[in-house]
Amino acid sequence: MENLIVLKDIVVKFDGEQVLNSINLEIRDKEFITLLGPSGCGKTTTLRIIGGFVEANEGDIFFDGVRINDVPPYKRQVNTVFQKYALFPHLNVFENIEFGLKIKKMPPKERSAKVKEMLELVGLKGFERRSIDQLSGGQQQRVAIARALVNRPRVLLLDEPLGALDLKLRKEMQTELKRIQQSTGITFIYVTHDQEEALTMSDRVVVMKSGNILQIGTPQDIYNEPINAFVADFIGESNIIPGIMRTDYHVEFAGNSFECVDTGFDPDQLVDVVVRPEDIKVVEADEGMISGVVKSVIFKGVHYEMLVEGAGEDWLIHSTVASEPGTLIGMNILPNDIHIMDREEEPVLSEQKEDGNED
Ligand SMILES: Nc1ncnc2c1ncn2[C@@H]1O[C@H](COP(=O)(O)OP(=O)(O)O)[C@@H](O)[C@H]1O
Ligand SMILES: [Mg+2]
């Protein structure tokens, strides 16, 4: 796949405060890419740069190889779907979707055909004459999506579009959006702070924090090989334990030495050891490399979630068998399930931020 949009060294400042720190991002044609990160990390600002609603203080943006820094939003081949759908309340479903085509002065017959096609695409056939206030939240969101797609943009920007829907509807719409993206071949750039949503729908995920991109990869890459403890923690629940990488394949943590599969760290380097809750095997107390006391157990449907205290750490464990609170248990971790990461140093990110102001 070719790059459709390229952001190069994009810096954005609001009131002197830098909110995007030299962002570099290549978005491929026809992909479903998601910007994921906590509130305030710069996701919406990045989207607005692409839509043309925010001007970069530094850097360039390219569309199909052409620099578009100075191209106004309405001339970009991009449409946006917002969390607040902003539908016209006095127009019915058909008229809402038709609106953009009317502005373009498309003949009525052609308009009607396009609107019908869109209604079918978003699963609202038969709803043409409904007024907006007779629709559920999910249906309104479908109208908003149809309206944004009817002009056949090359790119659709979606800023937390499912945020206002309840969980069941969100799940349904996630599947729908993926289907719509695949059947239209339009590039979707999606923003969310919900890691599960990002992992379910995306071809690639861009993890952001404090105006920086930390990692870009497929959902599998990001989940299995998070680049640091922040990403690991944000992407799924994790145990993050301080450790020392003694030599290649050999790490110490929780008062024990473990075999691992990692190499290339300095001798005796301080690291973060990341272990997923589902990767801790519960065994008899005397058979575990670590032992600990069960503090709490919660039934989660597919597994039990146990909090265990041992070797000076709290351990989150997902297990299909539960141990009673108060029990002493053993815990084992296989080399493959131990993920070693450079210990993340917060100050580095804010230093970068300050440097960015200068150059
Ligand atoms: N128009 C604006 N004026 C001043 N500050 C802004 C403006 N828009 C966003 N910000 C700030 O920029 C940072 C990034 O915001 P935003 O891109 O909306 O983050 P996200 O979408 O990831 O929650 C936040 O600290 C926010 O307060
Ligand atoms: Mg936002």
- Nearest protein Cα to ligand 1, atom 3: 14
Dump strand ranges (E) for the chain. 3-14, 17-28, 32-36, 58-63, 66-67, 78-81, 155-159, 187-192, 204-209, 212-217, 239-247, 250-253, 256-259, 269-275, 281-283, 290-299, 304-310, 313-319, 328-332, 339-342
CB-based pocket (< 6 A), ligand 1? 14-15, 19, 37, 39-45
The correct answer on CATH 3.40.50.300 for the domain covering 3-224 is yes
Phi, psi angles (nearest 5°) of residue 152: 50, 60
- How many angstroms separate the alpha carbon of residue 193 from the centre of ligand 2? 8
- C-alpha 14 – ligand 1 centre gap (Å): 8
Distance CA 63, CA 76 (A): 9
Ligand 2 centroid to Cα of residue 47, in Å, is: 9
Report the pLDDT value the prediction gives residue 166, as an integer from 0 to 100: 83
Q: Please state the atom number of ligand 1 nearest to the C-alpha of residue 35.
A: 22
**Which atom of ligand 1 is closest in space to residue 48's alpha carbon?**
17
Question: Which ligand 1 atom sits nearest the alpha carbon of residue 45?
Answer: 17
Atom of ligand 1 at shortest range from CA of 38: 22
Pocket test for ligand 1, best of 18, 19, 49, 193 (most atoms within 8 A of CB): 19
Q: Where in the chain is the domain with CATH 3.40.50.300?
A: 3-224
Which ligand sits closest to the CA of 37?
1
Q: What is the structure's pLDDT at 353?
A: 38
pLDDT tens digits, the chain, 359 residues: what are they?
Answer: 689 999 999 999 999 999 999 999 999 999 999 999 999 999 999 999 999 999 999 999 999 999 999 999 999 999 998 767 689 999 999 999 999 899 889 999 999 999 999 999 999 999 999 999 999 888 998 999 999 999 899 999 999 998 878 888 889 889 999 999 999 999 999 999 999 999 999 999 999 999 999 999 999 999 988 888 899 988 888 899 999 999 999 999 999 999 999 999 999 999 999 999 999 999 999 999 999 999 999 998 889 999 999 999 999 999 998 999 999 999 999 999 999 998 866 543 333 333 434 33
pLDDT at 82: 78
pTM higher than 0.75:
yes
CB atoms within 10 A of CB 289: 16
- Any idea which ligand is nearest the CA of 23? 1
pLDDT at residue 301, rounded to an integer: 87
Distance 14 CA to ligand 2 centre (A): 15
Closest-approaching ligand to the CA atom of 163: 2
What local confidence, expressed as pLDDT, does residue 343 receive?
Answer: 84
User: What's the burial of 177, exposed, middle or buried (CB within 10 Å: 0-12/13-18/19+)?
Assistant: buried
Q: Which residues of 204-223 are buried (b: 16+ CB within 10 A; e: fewer)?
A: bbbbbbbbbbbbbbebeebb
Probe residue for ligand 1, chosen from 7, 14, 47 as the CB with the greatest number of ligand atoms within 8 Å: 14
Q: What would you report as the CA-atom Rg of the chain, rounded to the nearest whole angstrom?
A: 24
Ligand index nearest the alpha carbon of residue 83: 2
Q: How distant, in Å, are the alpha carbons of 93, 176, 351 from that of 190?
A: 24, 14, 29
| pLDDT given at position 2 | 83
